[in-house]
Amino acid sequence: MGPSPADLHGLFLTADLATRLQRVGRRTADASDADARVAREQENYVLGAMDWTVVNASGPPGQTLANARVLLRDPNSGNQNRSAR
């Protein structure tokens, strides 16, 4: 089987620490094992150059979807940055 003709448009969702802490604190019966400790550790991750489009995901899910749709139409229309921590 050969390569797929589909393009990949990677989206990297970000949210500030307070938002992430609030979200992990509300989780129950969730598949993720991330907790407040993991959220705090993420502040120190060095990800290097980011080839994916960075999407602000600090708001409600509908707003994150809207942000992503705008950026997929025009990747330069508000991409916070192309280099993540």
pLDDT digits (tens, 9 = 90+) for 30-72: 888 889 999 999 999 998 988 889 999 999 999 999 999 999 8
Residue 83 pLDDT: 43
Residue 45 pLDDT: 93
* Distance separating alpha carbons of residues 85 and 81, to the nearest angstrom: 10
Question: What does the buried/exposed string (b/e) look like for 33-48 if buried means 16 or more CB atoms within 10 Å of the residue's CB?
Answer: eeeeeebeeeeeeeee
- Output 10 or 33, whichever has higher pLDDT: 10
DSSP assigned state of 61: H
Residue 20 pLDDT: 95
Going along 1-85, which residue ranges are E strands?
A: 11-14, 48-49, 53-56, 83-84
User: Does residue 73 surpass a pLDDT of 70?
Assistant: yes
Residue 59 pLDDT: 96
- Output 34 or 77, whichever has higher pLDDT: 34
